[in-house]
C-alpha cells in the first residue's frame, strides 16, 4: 500500500537555523528508496526549496509557492503550474500601495522586493518601479505583502478576496515568525489542493497521506490529510487541527514521528 509523506520546510523539516539535518535527509531518502512517496510542500520558491535541501534528493515531488507549482523531482519537470495575472496585481498595487510597507514578488526562482524592510540577501533583487516590473515579468507565481496596520489584516484579507476574485489572499505566519503577512496566490490554489492533485495523479488514497507543518498555510493540509501532524513548535491554530503532535523542528520532530509511526504499523 503506497503512502505519501508530505513535509513543510521552514520550522518543520528545516530547523530554526534554516538547516536541513543530514540525518533527516538520509532517513527520508531511505523511505523513498523503500517506495514511500516523499513530497516537500513549502511556501518557498522552487529554486529556494532545492537550495536549502541540497538538491532535495530525498523527495519525489516538490510543491512550491504554497501550491502554485508541482515539480517532479525525479524527472526534473514541472507537472502543474499557475501564474498570477499581472494586470490584477498592478491594479492591487495602484489601489492599495499605501496600505502596505513591503511588496515581495516571486517568479519561481528569484524574490524581488519593493520597499525592503531590511537589507536584501544575495537571493533577492530590489525593485525600483513596480509598474515597470510587472510589465516585464510575466511569470510571477506568488507574492507577499507586509501590512502597515497589522490589526486590520483579517479585515483586509476579506475585502481583497471579495474585490479580486481571480486572486487568493491568505494570512500567513510561520511558527517562529514575529508577525503575520498576506500571501497572494492564484484562486483555487493551496498546498492541500496541490497534494490532492498529486495524490490522484499517482493513485494514493488520502487516508495514506501523512502531512507535517507548523504555520498558517499548513492548516488546510493538516486538517484534511489522512494523518495531520503538527510540529512541537507549531502555532496553536495548527496544533488544534492536527491528529498528532511531534517534537520541535530543532529536535527532528518529523523523523522521530515517522520512525515510531511507521514502525508501529508494521
The 3-state secondary structure of the chain reads: CCCEEEECHHHHHECCCCCECHHHHHHHHHHHHCCCEEEEECCCCHHHHHHHCCCCCCCCEEEEHHHCEEEECCCCEEEEECCCCHHHHHHHHHHHCCCEEEEEEECCCCEEEECCCCCCCCCEEECCCHHHHHHHCCCCCEEEEEECCHHHHHHHHHHHHHHCCCEEEEEECCCCCCCCEEEEEECCCCHHHHHHHHHHHCCCCHHHEEEEECCHHHHHHHHHCCEEEECCCCCHHHHCCCCEECCCHHHCHHHHHHHHHHHHCC
**Mean pLDDT (the chain, rounded):** 94
Residue 177 has what pLDDT?
A: 86
For residue 226, is pLDDT > 60? Answer: yes
Place of cell 484562486: 187
pLDDT > 90 in the chain, percent: 87
Residue 120 has what pLDDT?
A: 61
Task: Give the integer Cα–Cα distance in Å for 49 and 47.
Answer: 6
What does the pLDDT look like over 78-110, one tens digit per residue?
Answer: 999 999 999 999 999 999 999 999 999 999 889
Residue 128's pLDDT band (cuts 50, 70, 90): confident
Residue predicted with more confidence, 118 or 78? 78
What does the pLDDT look like over 232-245, one tens digit per residue?
Answer: 999 999 999 999 99
The whole-model pTM stands at 0.94
For residue 58, is pLDDT > 60? Answer: yes
Residue 256's pLDDT band (cuts 50, 70, 90): very high
Residue 9's pLDDT band (cuts 50, 70, 90): very high
Domains and CATH numbers, the chain: 4-81+189-264 (3.40.50.1000), 86-186 (3.30.1240.10)
For residue 20, is pLDDT > 90? Answer: yes
Cα-flanking dihedrals φ and ψ of residue 222, to 5°? Answer: -65, -40
Residue 124's pLDDT band (cuts 50, 70, 90): confident
Residue 199's pLDDT band (cuts 50, 70, 90): very high
For the residues 55-75, what does the mean pLDDT come to? 97
Amino acid at each position: 500500500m503506497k503512502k505519501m509523506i508530505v513535509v513543510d520546510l521552514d520550522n518543520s523539516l528545516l530547523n530554526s537555523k534554516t538547516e536541513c539535518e543530514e540525518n533527516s535527509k538520509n532517513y527520508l531518502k531511505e523511505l523513498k528508496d523503500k517506495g514511500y512517496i516523499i513530497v516537500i510542500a513549502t511556501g518557498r520558491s522552487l529554486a529556494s526549496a532545492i537550495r536549502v535541501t541540497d538538491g532535495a534528493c530525498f523527495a519525489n515531488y516538490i510543491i512550491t509557492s504554497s501550491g502554485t507549482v508541482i515539480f517532479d523531482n525525479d524527472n526534473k519537470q514541472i507537472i502543474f503550474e499557475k501564474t498570477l495575472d499581472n494586470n490584477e496585481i498592478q491594479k492591487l498595487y495602484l489601489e492599495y500601495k499605501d496600505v502596505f510597507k513591503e511588496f515581495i514578488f516571486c517568479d519561481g526562482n528569484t524574490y524581488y522586493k519593493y520597499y525592503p524592510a531590511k537589507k536584501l540577501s544575495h537571493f533577492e533583487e530590489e525593485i525600483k518601479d513596480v509598474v515597470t516590473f510587472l510589465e516585464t515579468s510575466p511569470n510571477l507565481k506568488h507574492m507577499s505583502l507586509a501590512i502597515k496596520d497589522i490589526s486590520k489584516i483579517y479585515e483586509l484579507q476579506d475585502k481583497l478576496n471579495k474585490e479580486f476574485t481571480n486572486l487568493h489572499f491568505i494570512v500567513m505566519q510561520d511558527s517562529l515568525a514575529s508577525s503575520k503577512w498576506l500571501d497572494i496566490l492564484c484562486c483555487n490554489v493551496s498546498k492541500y489542493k496541490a497534494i490532492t492533485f498529486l495524490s490522484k495523479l499517482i493513485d494514493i488514497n488520502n487516508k495514506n497521506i501523512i502531512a507535517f507543518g507548523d504555520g498558517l498555510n499548513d492548516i488546510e493540509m493538516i486538517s484534511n490529510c489522512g494523518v495531520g501532524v503538527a510540529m512541537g513548535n507549531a502555532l496553536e491554530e495548527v496544533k488544534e487541527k492536527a491528529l498528532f503532535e511531534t517534537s520541535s523542528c530543532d529536535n527532528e520532530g518529523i523523523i522521530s514521528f515517522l520512525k515510531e509511526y511507521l514502525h508501529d504499523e508494521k
